[in-house]
A and B are shown apart, each in its own frame.
Chain A
């Protein structure tokens, strides 16, 4: 392009901005009409300008909301039962003891009639951890070997998820939209708070630790409920349906979320259980006595080898690690660590 007597880029951008003077407007038109190259240059700058207009418009469009809207129409049929359900939930939150029927049973009923509630399942394999954001904006961290089932679209008046394993929740605050975690035969009802729930199938208890806010732990038949305050731990025993509360320091319960493995005066069988999931290995305790050892340590990003070394240094333990042999389908079997008394 030849050098012009006026700043053509300024004229062009002023036209887009709508601040061009009538004189310059004419001048610009004349310039554009002069040559095909000028015309092309102007059109390209116009496209460029439009690209940004489009980008700005797109950023204001909420595709998540739009999807919720159409999936409500496509994937759910009846909504009538939800209202009755909400009233129950509200009642459960206020006077838990009165309610005889369980959220679990209710939700099953609702599902049947609603037909098409669609669920997602997030699953973290052993040896790994993951995090996700639920449709309502709640953040969830999933510990190794854990599973979270949640509807693609939460019902309008409550948010229910199902947990197997351990998860840390940062629930998006919404008092009118209760968040319910169901695990085995226990429910945790919250309105917006941060807490950790440890509910592995193989354990016969469910531990809930509250970090912030308030939660209510309720058993399946809604006959027993306990409200938790921050820094409290509720242990729900699956066998006798009792809930026991105690004051704790939540640090060690939630350390896993930031990649730390923390033990504070913990018995060796618990230590071993956590290591198994964390590193996807199997432990065999060869001497029963070891189970009763009490252990305190914090591991950050340590390999299994290092952890075992430290374990054997700080407790009268020695260990052996099995070779991993190849299985028929070309995968390797789990590593096994055997622990012996020194």
Chain B
């Protein structure tokens, strides 16, 4: 039987396929980056529906202009496009003061490192949450994933709000140790 050499998937390779109108590859790239880009855009425009529209329009533009576009890195390409459209959106809203404020916020707080893909986070985060002690994990998940208020969690579990707070703080402490390497990567020269 013949064994084909497995070639690593590169952005250039994927971009070439898209240039050749390969819809399957387009779908793959879309599904890989979409949710991350939406959350990234949401940080700037503060509106999840607008963010979805923005990211969709970026992908539509990519497909429509696929034959002429040069992409070396999807990541930086998408960041650039999404960021520009977000700024356009804010500008179009004619809220000058807000606009200035947001842009400065953008420059300061939304960096390229804020783009995470679902698969990045899935591995990193789900694993570390699963490593929490059971009670701590349960409370942490209720707070962060089910969006329950401290009082609601306390009510459901018949414990004091103080215990809930302590458990969440404990969770953060443990998660910090698990994720410390990634956190320091996120802050290369932030304060220097």
Contacts and interface: CB of A to CB of B under 8 A. Distances in A.
Interface of A: 7, 9-10, 12-14, 17, 19, 36, 39-40, 43-45, 47-49, 51-59, 61, 63-64, 66-67, 69-71, 73-75, 118, 120, 152, 329-332
Interface stretch (B7-15, B28-36, B83-91, B97-105): B28-36
B52 A14 contact: no
A99 B23 CA distance: 36
Nearest to A39: B191
B183 A47 contact: yes
Contact of B144 (A9, A14, A56): A56
A61 B59 contact: no
Contacts of A59: 35, 118, 145
Nearest 8 pairs between A and B by C-beta? A13-B169, A63-B34, A61-B35, A58-B35, A10-B169, A52-B144, A44-B183, A55-B121
Q: Specify the main secondary structure of chain B where it touches its partner.
A: helix
Given A48-B179, A48-B183, A52-B125, A61 B52 contact: yes
B82 interface: no
A64 to B, nearest CB: 7
28 contacts: A10-B166, A13-B172, A17-B143, A17-B168, A43-B190, A44-B176, A44-B184, A51-B179, A53-B144, A54-B116, A55-B121, A56-B145, A56-B147, A58-B39, A61-B34, A61-B35, A61-B38, A61-B48, A63-B35, A66-B56, A67-B27, A67-B34, A70-B56, A70-B60, A70-B63, A71-B27, A74-B63, A120-B24
Given A14-B165, A70-B60, A63 B191 contact: no
Interface residues of B, number: 46
